[in-house]
Chains A and B, each alone.
Chain A
Amino acid sequence: MASAIYLDHAATTPMLPEVIETITKSMQDSYGNASSIHRMGRDARKQLDKARSMLAETIRADARDIVFTSGGTEANNLALTGYARANKENGKHIITSAVEHHAVLHPLEKLQQEGFDVTFLPVDQTGAVSLDQLKAAFREDTILVSIMHSNNETGVLQPVEDIAAFVKNTRAAMHTDAVQSYGLSNLDVEKLGVDMLSVSAHKINGPKGTGFLYIRRGTLVDPLHAGGEQERRKRAGTENVPGAAGFAKAAEEKTLSREQAAADLSALKKHFLSRLEEEAVSFAVNGEVSRTQPHIVNIYLPGVQMESFLVQLDMEGIYASSGSACTAGSMQPSHVIEAMYPGEERAYSSIRFSFGIGNTLEEIDKTAAVIGKIIKRS
């Protein structure tokens, strides 16, 4: 396994050693239930509060506006389903984009069955939605706009700040799925102007099973499941204190190294693209590369059948992906690439490479060489 090259950091990331250490220590020393009133409980509560404050600070939010969840998917479900149900008296229209993660699209489809009306904005070939189209789709009864911060398959950044500025002057609320941006982009909820923002820990070298939803004060959200009083009644269940502590540790590390990491990842991506050219690989980047997150590049390899291509990469110990991992098992063509290039075969011949901690220029060299070899072979 030593030679394996992991280029699927957008699917999930390995935990940092210091994160594992934090979690282990928390499990051993602070295993009390944060709702217990004895000292063990209070210690756990303190640790949870500390994690909440640290995470809040990373997005310049108030700690009281952070709701811990079991991950990004639950955070998105809570934001959309919870907001729609709590605000249905004000209207039944929701605007989103066609390229959202399934954790946004599926709950919205469910809401459609419950009588909500959802507009799925198209994207152009850059992968971005347009503010003008959003304005045109906006209605009197629009209660919610949900546009992802950056796309998980292409890395394309959406004009969330501009959209939020528009939404701010309406009665609707603005949600953004920031799962792929957190830890890389400077996310300041005031500057962004969003009312809700979803984040996941395992995408930033933190633990699986942990995430949070930022909910701006005054934004009404029904819980997905009622029960205990935890998380200000927004999310019942014994708090995952070790998970939260590990999440905060990962966020802290990411925040400290954010600018350096972004520069390093950009360099890896640039190197990757130029090495592919040197290998005389015929390819095109999906989306406008200047508007993408540094850690993701999605490339179209004309004539390549992605499934067998991935298998060949895998045999060489190179781990990449065709689109988001949550759909990869089913091997459906990517809905994101299809939305960007409708009617083309691009979705069947596109591969996502996503970089992260531990990746080196040497690994990129080897990957480009292997891709060159596979293409020449076919």
Chain B
Amino acid sequence: MIYLDNSATTKPWPEVMETFIKASGDYFGNPSSMHQLGKDAGILLSKARDSAASMLGVEAEEVIFTSGGSESNALAVQGTMKALASRGKHAVTTVMEHPSVLKQFQDQEKQGAEVTYLQPGSDGRITASQVIQALRKDTVLVSIIRVQNEIGTVQPIEEIGRELAAFPKIYFHTDDVQGAGKLPIDLTYVDLYSLSSHKFHGVRGAGILVKKKGKNPAPLIMGGAQENGMRAGTENVPAAAAMVKALRLSREAYQASNGRLRELHNKMTNHYQGMTGVEINTPASGSVPYILNISVKHSKPEAIVEELSGRGIYISSKSACSSKEKNTDSVLGACGYTKERAETALRISLSAETTEQDIDELLRACSSIFPAVQLVVGGK
């Protein structure tokens, strides 16, 4: 089996599962309980929080554990727009956000907010000056995806943050669900930062929102004093401990395999560039080595996914959470690609464990499948 859909979800590292199992057994107490078992669970949770904070370069109290990336994004966007409503109703974001950010803004628009959607340049990137130019007197939030989940482009978050530092009242959020654990980031000038455990080989149902001191979005889930009042509900201690373990292991593994993944990326790019009717959507520079997006002319991407799936190779036709939606307003389309190119896109996403052999097999399979699929569709 060759799993190349690591942007949809990843397999937990074995050590992560060990941590999860051990914590579930030995530290099952409720951290809010006063007795020893509760305290033990609370201590493990604090350790996980400290460790996450030190890896992310923030303070422990700035780490909010959530149920995942979608909740972190919702808390950042919805929570900020609500909390700062009296100050202003304008936000700046991009056309290429994940639905968990985009739909939040669409909801906010229905409630009277105004949102500016920035368009990336031909290199797939937003510039800091674009962001600054879009600011208004009533802007309260800027939210920009760090690593685009379908194309793999990396936005200059640090630079945007530095420029935005001149506007200290505006909250700056970045959705780093696709970059966390895989690509280092400096959070000095980022106020709110989302990540999801299962995208970097952690367990499901866990995420983090980094929330800098003094930045206070309104909580979404109420009913207990957990997470400093930012997120109620019995803490998922085993999942949090396992997530932080995964963050550490992934940072090491992806740093070590960065060069190798880049070579595999180049190999794929070269191969596909040599194939008739195949276009590369991921820009050669300014993108991560573990995501490659291509379009296959005159094809039904679902048919290719299915063919590959039959051969034990798993890739994606589009972001998993929108797989079931009709593809009319795709990210690629919004980024300026033609409709056909957007509708025939495929995403190949690698993990630190992907081998050259895996890629060779994928490329061999594509060489035989693509022409056949293109013929079938072309013949209609």
Contacts and interface: CB of A to CB of B under 8 A. Distances in A.
A328 B32 contact: yes
A326 B235 contact: no
A241 interface: yes
Interface stretch (B68-76, B88-96, B117-125, B164-172): B68-76
B80 interface: no
A74 B309 CA distance: 36
Interface in A6-65: 6, 8, 11-15, 20, 23-24, 27-28, 31-33, 35-41
A342 to B, nearest CB: 23
A104 B233 CA distance: 11
Given A202-B234, A314-B35, A38 B21 contact: no
Interface in A299-342: 307, 310-311, 313-314, 317, 319-322, 325-331
Given A6-B37, A71-B234, A104 B223 contact: yes
A70 B21 CA distance: 19
B232 A103 contact: yes
Given A27-B203, A73-B221, A36 B323 contact: yes
A171 interface: no
Given A37-B323, A229-B324, A326 B236 contact: no
Interface string B1-27: 001010011111000010011001100
Residue with the highest number of chain A CB atoms closer than 10 Å, among B67, B203, B205: B205
A127 interface: no
A237 B69 contact: yes
Nearest to B26: A1
Interface stretch (A117-125, A220-228, A260-268, A282-290): A220-228
B243 to A, nearest CB: 11
B144 interface: no
Contact of A328 (B34, B73, B100, B237): B34
B232 A8 contact: no
Interface stretch (A133-141, A207-215, A249-257, A361-369): A207-215
B38 A11 contact: yes
Interface string A165-178: 00000000000000
Interface in B217-239: 220-226, 232-239
A183 interface: no
A310 B231 CA distance: 27
A331 B32 CA distance: 10
A105 interface: yes
Range, interface on chain A? 35 or more
Contacts of A158: none
B198 interface: yes
Contacts of B236: 70-71, 208-209
A227 B205 contact: no
Nearest to A322: B34
A208 B234 contact: yes
A208 to B, nearest CB: 4
B320 A41 contact: yes
Interface stretch (B53-61, B184-192, B256-264, B300-308): B300-308
B223 A15 contact: no
B47 to A, nearest CB: 17
A265 to B, nearest CB: 19
Interface in B27-49: 28-38
A325 B224 CA distance: 9
Contacts of A331: 34
A310 B260 CA distance: 57
Which of B28, B31, B206 has the most chain A CB atoms closer than 10 A to its own CB? B28
Contacts of A6: 37
B274 to A, nearest CB: 25
A230 interface: yes
21 contacts: A13-B28, A24-B21, A31-B12, A38-B5, A39-B309, A70-B71, A70-B236, A71-B236, A207-B24, A226-B104, A227-B70, A227-B104, A229-B321, A238-B9, A238-B198, A319-B36, A319-B37, A321-B34, A326-B224, A326-B232, A327-B32
Given A31-B12, A70-B236, A77-B220, 13 more contacts: A33-B8, A35-B321, A39-B310, A39-B314, A40-B5, A207-B24, A226-B103, A236-B70, A237-B71, A237-B100, A241-B204, A310-B34, A326-B234
Interface of B: 3, 5, 8-12, 17, 20-21, 24-25, 28-38, 67-71, 73-75, 78, 98-101, 103-104, 106-107, 196, 198, 203-206, 220-226, 232-239, 302, 305-306, 308-310, 314-317, 320-325
